[in-house]
Structure formats: C-alpha cells, structure tokens
Amino acid sequence: MPPKSKAAAAAAAAAAAQPVAVEDLFTTLHRHIEAGEFPQAVKVADQVLAAAPGDEDAVRCKVVAHIKSDAIEKALAAIRAAERLPIDLSYCKAYCYYRQNKLQEALDLLKGQEETSAILQLESQIYYRLGRMNDCMNSYEKLQKFKVESMDLKINIIAALVAAGRASEVQATMKAQKVDLSSRALRDTRSFELAYNSACSLIENKKYSEAKEQLDLAKRIGKEELMVDEYGDDDIEYELAPVSAQLAYVHQLQGQTQEAMETYNNITSRNLADPSSLAVATTNLISLKGTRDAADSLRKLSRLIEKSTAPNQLQLIESLESKLSPRQKEALYSAHVLLLLHANKIDQAHEFVSGLLGMFQDSTFPVLLQAAVHVREKKVQKAEEVLSQYAEKHPENSKGVLLSLAQIAASANHFQIAADSLSKIVDIQHMPATVATLVALKERLGDSNGASSVLDSAIQWWKNSMTEDNKLEVFMREAATFKLNHGRDEEACQLYEDLVKSFGSAEALAGLVATSARTNLEKAEQYEKKLKPLPGLKGINVESLEKTSGARPFEAPKPMEQDVTDEVKKQKAKKRKRKPRYPKGFDPANPGPPPDPERWLPKRERSSYRPKRKDKRAQVRGAQGAVSRDGTSSASASSSSKANQATKAPAAAPEPPKGSNKSRKKKSRS
C-alpha cells in the first residue's frame, strides 16, 4: 500500500481538529440510546457538553444513561455537578435514592413536586417498599386521572392491593381497568406477571384451586416467553422461581406437604432462584419441618440475616433488604426467634427480640415474640406484664396481643386475667368460641352470675344481629342448659319457652315441659299436650305401671357353645386394623434411622457388649520388697494373699522374716 502524501495527512488532521456539529452529536446520541448502548451515549453526551456547556438535554441524557447502565453513583455525581445549572433534576435524584434503598430521602425529594404520572408512579413504588400500602393505593388512585395504559402499572396495582390486604377488590379494580383475567386473555397478552399477581389475590381470598390454575398458566406463559427470548433452561428456572415458590405454597396450604417440600428443597439446594424467592422457600421449608433439624434450619436462616453496625439493630443481607415485603420479613424473623427458643439459645433470642422491638415499632409480632421468650424462661408474670402494657398503650392494635395474653394466663391458671383479656376484645365478644371460653373461665372462678351474664349478653346481641348464619338458637339452648344446671329453673324455663315460640324445636319443647314441672305445673301440663305421642304406648295402663315395683332387667337367652365360638371367630375376623400411632413430631415420610432393636435390653445382654479385660500388668512379680507398678510392695501383696488363704485353713504363727545380707552388714557397722 503506497504511503499517504503529506497533503492528505494534513487534511485528515484538519478534519479531526474541526469540531463536530452539535446537531450531529445529538443524532449520534439518539442512535446510541435507541440501540441501548448507554455507555457510548454517556461519552457522546460529554462531547455535547464540551461543545455546549450546560445544555439541559445533554445533562438529562447523561444522567438517564448512567441510570440505565445501573451506574447509580455516577448518575448522582452528574446530578451534583449540574446543581449550579437552572435544571430541576429532583425526580432523577429521587429515583437514584430509590434504587439505593434510601426510601425516606427519596420521598422527601418528591414532596412538593407537581403530581405528574411519573412522580406518582415513583411515589407509589416507594410507599410499597416502605410497607405503607394505604398511601401506595392512594397514589395509584390519583394515577387514574392520567389514564396511563401500561401493563406494568396494572400489574403493580394488583400487587399493591394484595399487599394492602384488599385482595377482594382485585376483580373489581381490574374490571375498571379493562383487564381480562381469563386464561385465554392472559395468554394473548403474554404477561405471566399479571397471572402471577392474580393468583396471589386468589390465595388471599382462599381460592386455592383457582390460584393453582393461574400459577400453572403463569408458568407456561413465562416459559414460552423466555424460550422465545432464547433463555437457557437454568435461566428460565431462575426467572420463574417466584412462580414455583408460590405454587409450592399453594400445595402447602392444601395439605400436600410432600409436593411442597420437594419444590422447596429443589429451590434451596440448586440455588437457581432470586434472593427473595430463595428466602421465601427457605422460610416455608423450615415451617414445614417444624422442630426437626432445628440446628440446620437455624444455620440456613442465619445466612440471610446480618447484624447492623448500630447497636441492637438487625437487617437482612443486602440482596434481601429491599426485596422482601414487611410481612415476609416478619415471617423470617419470627422463624429465626422460634428456632432459637427450640435450640435453648435464650440469650440470643433476647438479643434478637430487642433488635426487632426497635425496628418494628408499629407491629405486634416483636411483642409476641418477647412474651414467648419469657414464657420459655418460665417467667409467666413477666410475659403477662409485657402484653398487658402493650395492650394499654395500643388498644386499637391489640387483638392478637390480648388473645395471646388470655392463652398464657389460662395456661398458668390465672383465670381472672384471661377472662379480663377476652372481655376487652369487642369484635369477637359474642362469637361462640369466645363465649364458651369466658363461661368456662367464670365457672373456674366460681362466678356463675358472671357466666350467666355473658350468655345473656350474647343472646341479646344475636337477637339484634342481621347475619345469615345466626347463632341465636344455639346460644339460647346452651344458656338454658347452663341455667338449669346452676339452679336457675325459672330463667331456664323462660328460655325454653322463647325457643319453642321462636323455633318450634321438639327438643326445646321437651326441655320446657321438664323444667316447667319444677316451677309451674299448669304450664307443664299445657305444653305437655303439644308433645307428639310415642307410638306403641296406647294400650299401656299407666296406673298399673306405677303400682309395680319397676321393670325387671331384660336377660337375653344364652346361646349354645357352638354359637359362642362362631361369634368369637367372627369378631376376631372383623377386628379392624388400627392405624399406627406415632410419637409427637414424627414424620412417617422421613422417619430417619431405625431405632436400636436391643435398646430395652440390659447392656450385658446386648450383642455389642464387650466386658472389660483385667489388666494383667498389675500382677506383682520379683523378689520380696520389690515395688509394684501401682506403688505397693510385694510384701503387702503377699500378705494380702496370705490373708485370703486364712479364710480357707487355720493360720500358723508366722515366722519373722530373715533380713538380707545388706541389712545385716548395716547392723554390724552400727
């Protein structure tokens, strides 16, 4: 190739030195952004800013390109560099804080901003992360006036409704959004996220069969979409891990524990799942296993939790802290504390609970865990004190706390505290289980008047209730029986009479006749006429029956011996097979190693028993006076052997031992 001439080289250098037009740079910048080449877009934006410093479009393109490249710190640096310019980048800065999980700082930046669709969407996402679901739904409701037609927005609305405990509103909301949740429509839109969120709403409404169908559909649609995008098998399994975990949860709720455990084990062992799905599968698997392998379960959960730099404060690992919802965090932390209690690590449980009390100040679950730790320490009064103090400070949010207090107090025979706790829960005051428990507690306290007033209050409440499943008849019947057993015949009679007039029950009529016979004989005779006559009693003379000494016991004829043996054989043949009774906490599907069949035999009778061998090295050998291994002399050994012989034959007078030559020499020298 011939060398370039000097004139051509000079022309090329001049062309390179000549500045490129800003319009051409923006054209290049637009091309890179459309192609998703964001690092190249940042370089071109820097060239635009070099040619036209302070250009607002170039600054915005640079910041957005950094965000799209997941370079959040560089985006914040570009925003700080442009603070002296008259450009409002507060939305971009808030989004960067949102990505860094600095949620409160991001929310503060959005306050006072004009409510655009972008601002409201970001605000709703921040509220969702913070667990403020009512505020989140308010932001989504404000978005309705902008008429944003986005599938992501519709998916997020369903997720927010489910998280806010308003799953019953999903169907109506989606109908207003013109979203068809049928299988065919979901397949046409090819959005498995929508099917997944729809399944979550069905789970909250306890429609497990329909939820399973939606999850299966979501898995099929998602697999088809990812295969079109040329994802590998492992990548597809990773992307669909949330659907698999939720499907296993449905199996768990339906009692199909084996299928659920297989899915959970597959997710946790292969590690082909995002961190949040892995945490959910681990927590649910531990709840299925219960107290079995508590140490192993504790190790698995400890990998998901780390101590914060602040004292008495806990946090999840970085990949989970911003991914799990508050409810999921509560479940994970609760499982960890319960496992610590089962492992008898009381000090660690105390430390853990103290951290949770500071983190979840508006929630009841740390207080319940704190009470559980005190109960495990057998400090029941301390647990009662903790729960009662919380109930006094937060009466509007203390239903679960009061129920736990009642259970703990009743187990400790503190019946008055248990009854007072139940009496404070207004919305369940007249439910059958609550009334039955209160009556039993009052009877234990010997307060029959209080028990009777509880029943009277429940009857009055159900009389004014307009519910379809009215329990008035049940309460009146039980109250009449209670009053009859406690000598309140007139009150019982009145209740039976009300039952007959209101419901016309034959059982109540019989009770009314029997009760009225004690208090008002005329009324008893009046109502006795309404009883239906028993068949076969017309030909019986009642007066003659009263004069007899009573009915004789009926004796059945004795069968022949052959009949007896045949009957015994039939009974043995029909002897039903009983199901084996397993110990508490035993899982027949995973029995573990079989027990030792010789465990009830004494050790000497077991096949593995080996008697201890006598130590022959302890025998004393050598001349008289030699020192043995255990420090005793041979003389003492010989004396003991002679003593043993003395028991067999009369002993002769022992001769004095002859001294050795050395001893004689010593004596002669002296």
The secondary structure of 386-443, three-state, reads: HHHHHHHHCHHHCHHHHHHHHHHHHHCCCHHHHHHHHHCCHHHCCCHHHHHHHHHHHH
Can you tell me the distance from the alpha carbon of 121 to that of 124, in angstroms, rounded to the nearest whole number? Answer: 5
Residues in the chain: 670
The whole-angstrom separation of Cα 399 and Cα 384 is 15
Is residue 391 very low, low, confident or very high in pLDDT (cuts 50, 70, 90)? very high
pLDDT tens-digit series, residues 366-385 = 999 999 999 999 999 999 99
Structural domains in the chain plus CATH codes: 22-161 (1.25.40.10), 431-530 (1.25.40.10)
Confidence tier at 259 by pLDDT (50, 70, 90): very high
Are 530 and 509 spatial neighbours (Cβ–Cβ below 8 Å)? yes
Which pLDDT tens digit goes with each residue over 543-597?
A: 777 777 665 665 555 555 555 566 666 666 666 667 788 787 778 888 778 878 8
DSSP string, 257-319: HHHHHHHHHHHHHH--S-HHHHHHHHHHHHHHHTTTTHHHHHHHHHTTEEE-SSTT-EEE-HH
pLDDT at 410: 93
| Coil, helix or strand at residue 627 | strand
Give residue 573's pLDDT. 62
* 623 and 657 Cβ atoms separated by less than 8 Å: no
Using a pLDDT cut of 70, give the percent of the chain over it. Answer: 80
Q: Taking the CA atoms of 81, 82, 88 and 91 in sequence, report the sign of the dihedral they define.
A: negative
Q: Measured between alpha carbons, how far is residue 224 from residues 215, 221, 228, 235 in Å? A: 14, 5, 6, 13
Q: What is the pLDDT of residues 327-343, one digit of tens each?
A: 888 889 889 999 999 88
- 40 or 645, higher pLDDT: 40
Give yes or no for residue 539 having a pLDDT over 60.
yes
What mean pLDDT, rounded, does the chain reach? 80
Phi and psi at residue 66, to the nearest 5°:
-65, -40
Single pTM value for the model? 0.63
